[in-house]
Structure 1
Amino acid sequence: MKTRRVTAAIASVLALSLGAAACGGGDDSDGNGGGNGKKDAALSSIVNASTKKGGTVTYEHSDVPDSLDPGNTYYGWVQNFSRLYARALTTFKPAAGKEGLEVVPDLAEGLGKPSADAKTWTYKLRQGVKFQDGTPITSKDVKYAIERSNFAPEALSNGPTYFKAYLEGGDKYKGPYKDKSADGIKSIETPDDSTIVFKLKQPFADFDYLATFSQTAPVPQAKDTGAKYVQNIVSSGPYQFESYEEGRSATLVRNKNWDAKTDPIRKALPDKVTIKFKVNPVTVDNDLLSDKITVDAAGTGVQPATQPKVLTGKNVAQTDASYAGATQYIALNVNVKPFDNEHCRKAVQWAMDKQSVQDAIGGSPKGDVASTLLPPSVNGYTKFDTYATEGNKGDVAKAKEELKACGKPSGFDTILTARSDRPAEVASATAVQNSLKKVGINVEIKQFPSGKYFSNFAGVPSYVHEHKLGMLSMAWGADWPTGYGFLDQIINGAAIKPSGGNNLMELNDPKINKALTDAIANTDDAARTKAWGEIDKMVMDNASVVPLIYRKNLLFRPESAANVTVTQAYLGMYDYTLLSSTK
């Protein structure tokens, strides 16, 4: 079945989440669509709504992006941010509340038209769309963008590989840097400059969601320089790069060849957008509180040290406790000893004091204790707890039984990774370390920068094996808000890559792989939804994932921020396509 909009199941689940989070929130009494600046107002309305053009929106980030190249990124905040300069075939509607989960046409003039078996999807591009140099954008530019982003891991390794996995011949095509043929991958057809046709190996009911990825944003082949393209990105959106200093900053200004008539999605109110990288995370918080910047680009909320200040002070009305649609967990790598043994993995499951992890990150405002991989706001979530313990504090006796079963009755030594610029993740790792010490599992914590965490360290199997990184800190949000959009890239064996991978467990279970493939091919919505919960249970039985927290973001909006609303489509951060500033 073709999915044009968020299904009723997704909408109802998220409506409940948003409603619960917005209790005591704002109303629309100011007549401007805003929430009057009340606590949690941006969860269900647009705060400080404005139609005024001008000003500068300023971002800061505690680290660096994996890449600002639309074809070489997997971070949710970059997917959100890139919509300022890169137009995908479809996108999520810039709107408040559950309306923001609706998939709408962007570069395409309509949503995809599927064949009866959902194996062929056709899109038509809008007329009159141009790159920043005035060159018309064609379907061939979209095809090339997908070829470079999915089939050239030697140059672009950070993004997902759904197209490679599901296009006919995707396993054989070598990418545009190696395959110099004029045809490229034959399962993407461009019969004319405005039509693009995708031919798939099997039915894929979520294809309109896949088309929202920045990987479908057009790239002119003549301007592509592989990994160096990030230095000179060619804009298809309302803003283009005036400057970019890798690892330091970027400035975006208006794209004079962007035409609002061809883009009903974006209002493009600011004159300029700036972003600074490698800013201390507590400094980012302080800059927000003092109204020196518009937004924290990471979108994960204030740090634990800042949280009491904003929750008990005069600025509490400027906070939004947003459900992130994400789960924080520990990946146990099945190819690093002793986690190649199921019982050693289960020992960690039983020993884990999840309550201490929640306390370490700032308590319930930052999330709820998790028992499943799927978070409650994702379609397919089923409530269960395979490793339930009293008060979520762990069970030492059961953990020791599993240690005996895995031949390590006295425990063992292992390494746990964490991202150095994320204080909450480091605090979580310390809580995990203390939990496991009680049963003789001695954990050494090693920290890595988040900007290279997947491309150089945790997402590189050879590095993980060589350095014996048995436990890896991870937080994951849905690529799109269905069970498949959440699970595929983190539990499917096909998602294991030489670098930039997200299946940090290196889980490659044939039964789980087949269950995923069968479910996404099922055009029956109800059956597909049921399958996601069943697959989640299979993963928990495997014990390679230790769910810790269903994440929340305690966001802060300074007074100068205008058109502020939370988007659940992008992990509960603010919608960057709407954001403007009164400065």
Structure 2
Amino acid sequence: MTSASFTRRGVLAATPIVLATGALAACSSGGTSTGSGSDGGGEGGGGSLTIFTTGDEMSFDPATSQNLAITTLGLTARRLTAWKTSADAPTELIPDLATDVGTPSDDGATWTFTLQEGLQFEDGTPITAATVKYGLERSFASELTGGLTYHKVLLEGGQDYSGPFSGEHLDSIETPDDLTLVFHLNRPYGDFGWIASTPAFAPVPEDSGEPETYATAPVASGPYRLDSYAPGSRALLVRNENWDAATDEARTGGPDEIEFALAQDASVVAQSIIADRADSQTAFLASFVPTAQLVQAQNDPNVGDRLVTSGPGALEYLALNTESEALQDVAVRRAIQYAVDKQAYLTFKGGEISGDYATTLITPGIAGREEYSLYSDEPAGDPEEATRLLEEAGAADLTLRLVITDDQTGAAEAIQQGLARAGITVTIQPLDDNAYSSEVTAGDGSAYDLVLSSWQPDVPSPNANLTPLFDSSQIGSGNYNLARYDNPEVDAAILEASSTVDPDEAHAKWAAVDQQILEESPVVPLIYSKNSFLHGSAVENFVIGEFPAYPNYLTVTLNA
């Protein structure tokens, strides 16, 4: 993960990943706003909210963003659908610009959305179906890179389309009138309503979407507009007077303004918030609490519920390269399931406050997830069973190469000592970012046996858990099937589950795929990580939902 985009992608860091200029999140009541909309205001008592971030730059261009629906970009850019998060229930898909979450037809290969009437951009011009289509078309342009690609591979003709800047348009997005969008997909896809909550589905006026300038001169559709931006210093959001709270179920629009304080030292900010200093009372830290300050906050009675820890979230796992000569035998891979010491791994990560032990691939907080455990129920593992399986497989003297990034050494040593109990020798090879990319995500997989990583889905769907990590189309070329797992039967099962429109039927199929994959042991689930955040005493409605394990920026308010 990079701090600039902070998405689900990236290797597992030994220190907390920065929730910098927006991204993952989850939480809060997410209730329907009840403001009149006449002055653009919402709930929450006004005031000025500060969000401290370690990132030094921000982009407000939805075409290049991988932000989740409830973080930074969601403050300025609405989408067709949105998320309602809850601390005690799976995240719910709700309408945003649209009147519903999409109507499938043609067995799920065609999806229709109808916009609410009267929606406006910050300048008072109407939000129409054409502006949503143009926003999506911009995401295909070669000048704009880095955004999510789900819609690009699903829309008919998408793989041959290069964006609207040369006057070409994508015929598979129809706009029969100002309020109607019809999407024609190249196959049935049950989760298209979730895909419509991703950043590229934000509307963009055609006369303001220049690739060179839009990132810092966006036209807002959400409760806030960008007032000023200074890289390395701050970004100031102020009220969008043309946002109507009565049309928005996802956002409360509480503070009068929101300032992102950029390039901050997380330890220094955490100390200030712990002390509840005047300049931190109306603020929160958008990165995980550093370890030293986390211990301090836990032991300070004045902090109390201003330290907020999520439930179990992103999956941290050990990928086993199934193309490696040493790991092609499934019995050897299963032996590693028993040899790994998850207890030592979690202890290194910080103990119970840092995560729960993982046994499944679909992460908590996602509807349809089923609990199961195929291997040892003991967190410390079962090295005797591992040894027995290795002996039966004729692999008693096994030496494996574990490649890591520079900041993963401690986590890797926990894996190393666990496997050593079963007679497996692990050599740890740190790589810089470029070497890691060329060898692991973009390489041919010939030089490594094991990889430590983590995964945060883009949307709360089993599809977003399993397809990127285990579909054979996601091997190499910068993709994230790090186990290089290639099973035609699993590919077919993934295709069938993703094509199923009925949610209950789809959930049952995804649960079966989860176990089908893990029976072949391409990865060892380690923990579902927990994240801890700090906020000042004047911050309210700072709640973390079941998915994802981050605060919902869109519903935070102030008591000032």
Q: Aligned match of 2:108 in 118, 122, 142? A: 118
Counterpart CA distance in 2 for 1:70 and 1:459 is 28
Aligned position for 2:291? 304
Counterpart CA distance in 2 for 1:173 and 1:458 is 26
Instruction: Return closer, same or farther for 1:356/1:528 CA change in 2, 3 Å cut-off.
Output: same
8 Å contact from structure 1 (residues 436, 442) kept in 2 = no
**1:295 equivalenced with 2:284 (yes/no):** yes
Runs of 4+ in 1 over 6 A off after TM superposition: 42-46
Aligned position for 2:20? none
Counterpart CA distance in 2 for 1:437 and 1:366 is 25
Counterpart CA distance in 1 for 2:410 and 2:266 is 14
Deviates further, 397-406 or 468-477: 397-406
Residue 120 of structure 1, CA deviation: 1.9
Aligned position for 1:566? 544
8 Å contact from structure 1 (residues 68, 230) kept in 2 = yes
**1:230 equivalenced with 2:230 (yes/no):** no
8 Å contact from structure 2 (residues 112, 182) kept in 1 = yes
Counterpart CA distance in 2 for 1:185 and 1:230 is 23
**1:60 equivalenced with 2:52 (yes/no):** yes
Aligned position for 2:505? 527
**1:330 equivalenced with 2:318 (yes/no):** yes
Instruction: Return closer, same or farther for 1:200/1:190 CA change in 2, 3 Å cut-off.
Output: same
Aligned position for 2:61? 69
Aligned position for 1:212? 197
Q: What is the number of residues matched between the two proteins? A: 517
Aligned position for 1:244? 229
- Counterpart of 1:305 in 2: which secondary structure? helix
Instruction: Return closer, same or farther for 1:307/1:261 CA change in 2, 3 Å cut-off.
Output: closer
Instruction: Return closer, same or farther for 1:478/1:412 CA change in 2, 3 Å cut-off.
Output: closer
Deviates further, 345-354 or 372-381: 345-354
**1:490 equivalenced with 2:469 (yes/no):** yes
Residue 467 of structure 1, CA deviation: 10
- Counterpart of 1:289 in 2: which secondary structure? helix
Q: Relative contact order (C-alpha < 8 Å, sep 6+): which is higher?
A: 2
Counterpart CA distance in 2 for 1:503 and 1:288 is 39
- Counterpart of 2:554 in 1: which secondary structure? coil
Instruction: Return closer, same or farther for 1:383/1:96 CA change in 2, 3 Å cut-off.
Output: closer
Counterpart CA distance in 2 for 1:303 and 1:428 is 16
8 Å contact from structure 2 (residues 338, 381) kept in 1 = no
Counterpart CA distance in 1 for 2:208 and 2:403 is 43
Instruction: Return closer, same or farther for 1:473/1:254 CA change in 2, 3 Å cut-off.
Output: farther
1:214-263 CA distances to partner (integer Å, 9 max, x unpaired)? 22111234433447642333322121223334566422222344344544
**1:432 equivalenced with 2:415 (yes/no):** yes
Counterpart CA distance in 2 for 1:57 and 1:122 is 37
Residue 193 of structure 1, CA deviation: 2.1
Q: How does 1:543-562 map to 2 (within 5 A)?
A: 543-562=521-540
Counterpart CA distance in 1 for 2:128 and 2:56 is 32
8 Å contact from structure 1 (residues 294, 581) kept in 2 = no
Counterpart CA distance in 2 for 1:469 and 1:572 is 31
Counterpart CA distance in 1 for 2:391 and 2:260 is 48
Aligned position for 1:355? 343
1:327-370 CA distances to partner (integer Å, 9 max, x unpaired)? 22233455677667756655643432111111112212222111
Q: Which runs of 5+ in 2 are unaligned?
A: 1-26, 32-41
**1:475 equivalenced with 2:454 (yes/no):** yes
8 Å contact from structure 2 (residues 63, 145) kept in 1 = yes
8 Å contact from structure 1 (residues 70, 79) kept in 2 = no
Aligned position for 2:135? 145
Deviates further, 461-470 or 200-209: 461-470
Instruction: Return closer, same or farther for 1:579/1:411 CA change in 2, 3 Å cut-off.
Output: same
TM-score calculated relative to the size of structure 1: 0.77
Instruction: Return closer, same or farther for 1:45/1:392 CA change in 2, 3 Å cut-off.
Output: farther
Counterpart CA distance in 2 for 1:68 and 1:580 is 22
Counterpart CA distance in 2 for 1:66 and 1:336 is 40
- Counterpart of 2:318 in 1: which secondary structure? strand
8 Å contact from structure 1 (residues 353, 435) kept in 2 = yes
Instruction: Return closer, same or farther for 1:152/1:443 CA change in 2, 3 Å cut-off.
Output: farther
Q: Aligned match of 1:91 in 78, 82, 87? A: 82
8 Å contact from structure 2 (residues 401, 426) kept in 1 = yes
Instruction: Return closer, same or farther for 1:67/1:543 CA change in 2, 3 Å cut-off.
Output: farther
Q: Which amino acid aligns with 2:194?
A: Y
Counterpart CA distance in 1 for 2:138 and 2:372 is 41
Instruction: Return closer, same or farther for 1:254/1:457 CA change in 2, 3 Å cut-off.
Output: farther
Instruction: Return closer, same or farther for 1:60/1:384 CA change in 2, 3 Å cut-off.
Output: same
Q: Which amino acid aligns with 2:558?
A: S
Counterpart CA distance in 2 for 1:340 and 1:562 is 52
Residue 91 of structure 1, CA deviation: 0.6
Instruction: Return closer, same or farther for 1:568/1:412 CA change in 2, 3 Å cut-off.
Output: closer
8 Å contact from structure 1 (residues 91, 106) kept in 2 = yes
Aligned position for 1:13? none
Aligned position for 1:4? none
Q: Aligned match of 1:273 in 253, 258, 268? A: 258
Q: Which runs of 5+ in 1 are unaligned?
A: 1-41
**1:165 equivalenced with 2:153 (yes/no):** yes
Aligned position for 1:134? 124
RMSD: 3.7
8 Å contact from structure 1 (residues 343, 403) kept in 2 = no
8 Å contact from structure 2 (residues 67, 199) kept in 1 = no
Instruction: Return closer, same or farther for 1:194/1:532 CA change in 2, 3 Å cut-off.
Output: same
- Counterpart of 1:411 in 2: which secondary structure? strand
Counterpart CA distance in 1 for 2:430 and 2:480 is 20
Q: Aligned match of 1:101 in 64, 84, 91? A: 91
Counterpart CA distance in 2 for 1:349 and 1:99 is 30
Instruction: Return closer, same or farther for 1:354/1:324 CA change in 2, 3 Å cut-off.
Output: closer
Aligned position for 1:510? 488
Instruction: Return closer, same or farther for 1:169/1:136 CA change in 2, 3 Å cut-off.
Output: same
Instruction: Return closer, same or farther for 1:472/1:353 CA change in 2, 3 Å cut-off.
Output: same
Q: Which amino acid aligns with 1:365?
A: I
User: Structure 1 vs Structure 2: percent identity of aligned residues?
Assistant: 29
8 Å contact from structure 1 (residues 105, 111) kept in 2 = yes
Counterpart CA distance in 1 for 2:96 and 2:409 is 39
TM-score calculated relative to the size of structure 2: 0.80
Q: Which amino acid aligns with 1:474?
A: S
Aligned position for 1:155? 144
8 Å contact from structure 1 (residues 188, 198) kept in 2 = yes
Residue 441 of structure 1, CA deviation: 0.9
Counterpart CA distance in 2 for 1:338 and 1:248 is 50
Residue 51 of structure 1, CA deviation: 4.4
